[in-house]
């Protein structure tokens, strides 16, 4: 099925790994011109090589920190200078940050809001005027199902993700007349880099578990109805669809990509 993404210019934040890389790969395969950005230069270079190896196409990579407004301006100015337009924005940058409420200090709250909420706001604020000039566009905000059903010790992530869901709905209503379609995918547990090489994997290794066994245990512990952890491409493919012409009547929607684990639709 042709998604109608050929020659569309897409910016993907947090595009060097996980869901961002998967979404970039999916859109490149559909003919989109993709610009990926992230903080880690080594991961950016690796992602660029991986995408080219899989598709034969070179993506543009830009090292930036989306918590810095000056870096966001650099990202968009570079993209506009090279390609002259912006059709798609995927606000994906973010990591899971949780803890006991009384131990989460102001700095951790601010860092999380800057990374997940304010970065999406700032990127969207720059992208939208250009999309209006082009006659429309697509924005996908990557959030979490915990933004809908927050649990104990889920902050600040659950709060910043809830704000991202609200931002999506409000923007979708404001810019629907401009043919700018804005949606969010609410992701559950997927095989992303935040679990690999981190504290969770170290704990699993100490218990004699390999990576696959760790994921199996996570699926069981988190009561995922499908009985497994999600693959990044399963989220990436949904993003590519929402960015496409095939999704031309979908806006203001949150789609759970969580194996059925969310308590709400």
Instruction: Please state the rounded mean pLDDT for residues 63-90.
Output: 98
SS3 38: strand
pLDDT of 63 above 60? yes
Fold that domain 9-190+232-257 belongs to in CATH: Rossmann fold (3.40.50)
Contact 62, 16 (CB under 8 A): no
Q: Minimal CA–CA distance to 260: which of 217, 229, 232, 237? A: 229
Rounded to two decimals, the pTM is 0.95
Does residue 255 sit in helix, strand or coil? strand
Give percent of the chain above pLDDT 70: 95
The length of the chain in residues reads: 265
What are the φ/ψ torsions at residue 144 (nearest 5 degrees)?
A: -140, 150
pLDDT at 33 over 80: yes
> Does the pLDDT value for residue 200 go beyond 90?
no
pLDDT digits (tens, 9 = 90+) for 216-258: 888 888 889 999 999 999 999 999 999 999 999 999 999 999 9
Q: Report the pLDDT averaged over residues 66-74.
A: 98
The enclosing H or E element of 12 equals strand 9-13
Mean pLDDT, residues 84-111: 96
DSSP code, position 118: I
Rounded distance, CA 202 to CA 253, Å? 37
Residue 221 or 5, more confident? 5
Q: Return mean pLDDT, the chain.
A: 94
Task: Please name which of 145, 114, 182 lies closest in space to residue 261, comparing C-alpha atoms.
Answer: 145
- Asked if 43 contacts 49 with a C-beta cutoff of 8 angstroms, the reply is no
Least confident range from 38-42, 60-64, 190-194: namely 190-194
Residue 70 banded pLDDT, cuts 50, 70, 90: very high
Record the tokens describing residue 198, joined without a space.
Answer: 């981190």
């Amino acid at each position: 099925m042709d998604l109608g993404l050929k020659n569309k210019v897409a910016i993907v934040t947090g595009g060097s790994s996980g869901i961002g890389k998967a979404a970039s790969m999916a859109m490149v395969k559909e003919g989109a011109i993709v610009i990926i950005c992230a903080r880690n230069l080594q991961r950016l270079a690796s992602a660029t090589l991986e995408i080219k190896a899989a598709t034969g196409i070179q993506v543009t990579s830009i090292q930036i920190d989306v918590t810095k407004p000056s870096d966001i301006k650099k990202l968009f100015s570079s993209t506009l200078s090279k390609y002259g337009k912006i059709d798609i924005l995927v606000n994906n940058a973010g990591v899971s940050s949780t803890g006991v409420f009384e131990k989460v200090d102001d700095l951790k709250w601010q860092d999380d809001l800057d990374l997940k909420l304010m970065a999406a706001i700032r990127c969207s604020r720059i992208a939208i005027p250009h999309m209006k000039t082009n006659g429309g566009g697509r924005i996908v905000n990557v959030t979490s199902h915990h933004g809908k059903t927050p649990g104990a010790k889920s902050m600040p992530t659950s709060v910043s993700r809830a704000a991202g869901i609200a931002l999506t709905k409000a923007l979708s209503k404001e810019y629907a007349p401009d043919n700018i379609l804005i949606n969010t995918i609410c992701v559950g547990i997927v095989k992303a880099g935040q679990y690999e090489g981190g504290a969770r994997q170290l704990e699993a290794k100490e218990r004699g578990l390999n990576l696959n066994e760790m994921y199996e245990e996570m699926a069981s512990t988190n009561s995922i109805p499908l009985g497994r952890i999600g693959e990044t491409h399963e989220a990436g493919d949904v993003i590519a669809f929402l960015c496409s012409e095939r999704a031309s009547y979908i806006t203001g929607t949150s789609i759970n990509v969580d194996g059925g684990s969310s308590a709400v639709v």
